[in-house]
């Protein structure tokens, strides 16, 4: 039992730290995921909608700290009870999502690793079993370092580091971008994906014997001897879903997606929440538009709604796509022939010369 507890302790601690870390990097993204759970067609707890970001930040950091406590072997009762309560809650959540097909990605590992609802559920079952072992055999958990001051110091440093990482992700840009619109990613390539490899089986009925037979291919001149009954398909190799979805630019009713993605130098002003953009931000974007246009850069706004007092053209884009591209409102995306070469936050918005350096 002693060794089983130690192995479980190590696995659970590492998984909780990794899971919490990838979400702490991008609290806004995890907050969007929580909003999906709060929606009327899922749990219908809309009163928590405005608290999504604080909750996302807290739970992400809490996961990391629990993992650190577990590995260090300190605050055993608090840590073990917290782990058990959390994993029971997560298991219920992932089962509900999987069984009722409500939220297709739990967000357990942020954008770093996508899991299907059933994969998430079985992952939580695995962790639940390990945590039960830890809970039952907690007497075998001893502090990793005998000097408790060092353990407390490590925990404090971990907490402060987590707070700084989360703050950076909220106020500026995530330290690591796992999304399909990260710097270096090519958007047209991301729109392609790889289709499933499918095997077809055709069911034909013999006109003479009335017997049904299966064929991988239609026999030559099969109509003379057979009549078609049905066809079955079997996926022999799962394809890869396109990471870039719904990237379509509706510019005054015209699809300008291909045009902008093929241009050598493009700057997009991203506004996922058009109604929340401040007048002084619009004024700065207008200024950038004039300066960037003079430098032979194609400039357009990508918005989920109408923008007032703009001097630059803008296109309508799905809000989920905009929120995926960048977490800021407004934010700036810089492209070179469809490849992301720069991203800028709004704290503060950059000057034109800073944006132009992205093309160097």
Helix (H, G, I), strand (E, B), or coil: what is residue 197? strand
Q: Examine residue 348 and say whether the peptide bond preceding it is cis (omega within 30 degrees of 0).
A: yes
CA-wise closest residue to 321 among 333, 304, 300, 341: 304
Supply the DSSP symbol for 349: P
| CB distance 117 to 103 below 8 Å | yes
Pairing of β 266-271 and β 298-303:
parallel
CB 271 within 8 A of CB 277: yes
At 24 the pLDDT is 98
pLDDT reported for residue 276: 96
With both helix axes pointing from N to C terminus, report the angle between 76-100 and 52-72 in degrees, rounded to the nearest 10. Answer: 130
pLDDT of residue 312: 97
d(CA 110, CA 288): 33
Q: Which of 249, 268, 271 is nearest to 341 (CA)?
A: 268
Torsion of CA 188, 176, 23, 160, to 10 degrees: -170
Sign of the Cα torsion 64, 67, 69, 75 reads positive
Instruction: Please tell me the predicted confidence (pLDDT) of residue 76.
Output: 94
Q: Do the beta carbons of residue 117 and residue 98 sit within 8 Å?
A: yes
Q: Give the DSSP H/E element, type plus range, for residue 166.
A: helix 148-171
DSSP 240-303: B--SS-S---EETTEE-HHHHHHSSSEEEEEESSGGG--HHHHHHHHHHHHHHHHTT-EEEEEE
Cα separations (Å) of 174 from 50, 351, 359?
A: 21, 20, 21
Contacts of 344 (CB under 8 A, 6+ apart): 331, 332, 334, 350, 354, 355
Nearest to 307 by CA among 289, 325, 295: 289
The helix/strand/coil state of 117 is: helix
Per-residue tokens: 121 = 């559920």
Q: Are strands 331-336 and 266-271 parallel, antiparallel or unpaired?
A: antiparallel
CATH class of 250-359: alpha beta
- In degrees, rounded to 5, the angle at the alpha carbon of residue 64 between the alpha carbons of residues 60 and 67 is 140
How many whole angstroms separate alpha carbon 311 and alpha carbon 143? 62
The pLDDT, as a whole number, for residue 2 is 87
Per-residue pLDDT of the chain (360 residues; tens, 9 = 90+): 888 999 999 999 999 999 999 999 999 999 999 999 999 888 889 889 899 999 999 999 999 999 999 999 999 999 999 999 999 999 998 999 899 888 878 788 888 888 888 999 999 999 999 999 999 999 999 999 999 999 999 999 999 999 999 999 999 999 999 999 999 999 999 998 888 889 999 999 998 889 998 998 888 888 888 999 999 998 888 777 889 988 999 999 999 999 999 999 999 999 999 999 999 999 999 999 999 999 999 999 999 999 999 999 999 999 999 999 999 999 999 999 999 999 999 999 999 999 999 998
Distance (Å, whole) CA 58 – CA 36: 18
pTM of the model: 0.86
Q: b/e string for 11-26 if b means 16 or more Cβ within 10 A?
A: ebbebbbbbbbbbbbb
What confidence score (pLDDT) does residue 218 get? 87
Query: At CB < 8 A and 24+ separation, what contacts does 94-102 make?
Result: 94/120, 94/121, 94/123, 94/124, 95/121, 97/121, 102/41, 102/42
For the chain, give every domain's residue range.
2-171, 197-237, 250-359
pLDDT value at position 268? Answer: 99
What burial class does residue 59 get, using C-beta atoms within 10 Å of its C-beta: 0-12 exposed, 13-18 middle, 19+ buried?
A: middle
Question: Cα–Cα distance between 1 and 192 in angstroms, integer?
Answer: 50
């Amino acid at each position: 039992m002693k060794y089983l507890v130690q192995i479980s302790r190590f696995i659970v601690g590492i998984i909780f730290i990794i899971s919490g870390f990838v979400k702490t990097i991008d609290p806004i993204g995890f907050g969007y995921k929580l909003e999906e759970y709060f929606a009327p067609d899922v749990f219908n707890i809309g009163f928590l909608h405005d608290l999504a970001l604080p909750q996302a930040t807290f739970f992400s950091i809490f996961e990391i700290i629990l993992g650190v406590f577990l590995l260090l072997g300190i605050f055993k009762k608090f840590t073990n009870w917290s782990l058990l309560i959390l994993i029971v809650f997560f298991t219920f959540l992932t089962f509900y999502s999987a069984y009722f097909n409500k939220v297709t990605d739990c967000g357990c590992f942020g954008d770093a690793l996508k899991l299907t609802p059933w994969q998430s559920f079985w992952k939580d079952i695995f962790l639940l079993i390990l945590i039960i072992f830890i809970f039952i055999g907690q007497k075998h958990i001893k502090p990793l370092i005998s000097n408790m001051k060092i353990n407390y110091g490590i925990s404090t440093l971990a907490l402060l580091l987590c707070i700084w990482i989360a703050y950076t992700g909220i106020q500026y840009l995530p330290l690591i971008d796992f999304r399909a619109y990260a710097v270096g990613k090519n958007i047209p390539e991301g729109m392609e994906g790889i289709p499933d490899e499918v095997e077809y089986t055709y069911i034909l009925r013999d006109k003479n014997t009335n017997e049904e037979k299966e064929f991988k291919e239609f026999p030559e001149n099969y109509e003379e001897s057979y009549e078609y009954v049905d066809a079955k398909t079997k996926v022999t190799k799962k394809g890869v879903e396109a990471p870039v979805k719904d990237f379509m630019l509706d510019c005054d009713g015209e699809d300008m997606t291909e045009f902008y993605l093929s241009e050598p130098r493009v700057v997009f002003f991203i506004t996922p929440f058009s109604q929340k953009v401040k007048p002084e931000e619009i004024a700065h974007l207008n200024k950038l538009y004039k300066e960037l246009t003079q430098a032979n850069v194609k400039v357009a706004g990508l918005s989920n709604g109408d923008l007032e007092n703009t001097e630059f053209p803008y296109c309508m884009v799905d809000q989920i796509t905009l929120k995926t591209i960048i977490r800021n409102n407004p934010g700036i995306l810089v492209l070179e022939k469809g490849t992301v070469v720069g991203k800028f936050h709004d704290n503060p918005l950059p000057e034109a010369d800073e944006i132009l350096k992205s093309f160097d």
